[in-house]
C-alpha cells in the first residue's frame, strides 16, 4: 500500500477508537451546532444594542446583523454569546480587566 493509503487507514482507525472513548489517539473539537438567539441574550441583559456591543467588545454592525438574521455568530463569537447568556456579569467584569 502507498504511504498515503497507510495514513488514511491509520486515521480511520484512530477515529474509530476515539468514537469508542479512547481520546489518547488524537484530538477533537466540539462544535456548538445549536441555534442561538442573540436578541434574546441581549434582552436578558437589559442593554441596548450599542451598550451590549460596547460592554462585550463586539462590533455594533455585527451585532445588528446577528439580530436581524442576516449573519450568524460562529466559533469564538458563539462561545462568547453562550457565556454571556449563562453569566453576563462575570463576562462583563472579566472583559473590563482587559
Report residue 90 as a C-alpha cell.
Answer: 462575570
Residues 44 and 79 in one domain: yes
Kindly tell me if the per-residue pLDDT of 81 is higher than 90: yes
Count of structural domains, the chain: 2
Residues 6 and 50 in one domain: no
79: Cβ contacts below 8 Å, ≥ 6 apart: 32
Residues 88 and 45 in one domain: yes
pLDDT tens per residue, range 36-46: 999 999 999 99
How much is the pTM?
A: 0.68
Residues 20 and 66 in one domain: no
First to last CA, the chain: 53
**Res. 5 pLDDT band, cuts 50 70 90:** confident
Output the 3-class SS for the chain: CCHHHHHHHHHHHHHHHHHCCCHHHCCCCCCCCCCCCHHHHHHHHCCCHHHHHHHCCCCHHHHHHHHHCCCCCCHHHHHHHHHHHHCHHHHHHHHHCC
Amino acid at each position: 500500500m502507498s504511504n498515503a493509503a497507510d495514513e488514511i487507514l491509520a486515521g480511520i482507525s484512530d477515529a474509530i477508537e476515539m468514537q469508542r472513548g479512547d481520546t489518547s489517539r488524537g484530538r477533537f473539537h466540539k462544535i456548538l451546532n445549536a441555534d442561538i438567539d442573540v436578541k434574546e441574550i441581549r434582552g436578558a441583559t437589559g442593554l441596548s444594542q450599542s451598550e451590549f456591543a460596547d460592554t462585550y467588545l463586539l462590533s455594533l454592525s455585527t451585532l445588528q446583523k446577528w439580530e436581524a438574521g442576516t449573519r450568524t455568530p460562529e466559533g469564538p463569537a458563539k462561545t462568547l454569546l453562550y457565556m454571556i447568556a449563562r453569566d453576563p456579569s462575570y463576562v462583563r467584569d472579566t472583559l473590563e480587566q482587559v
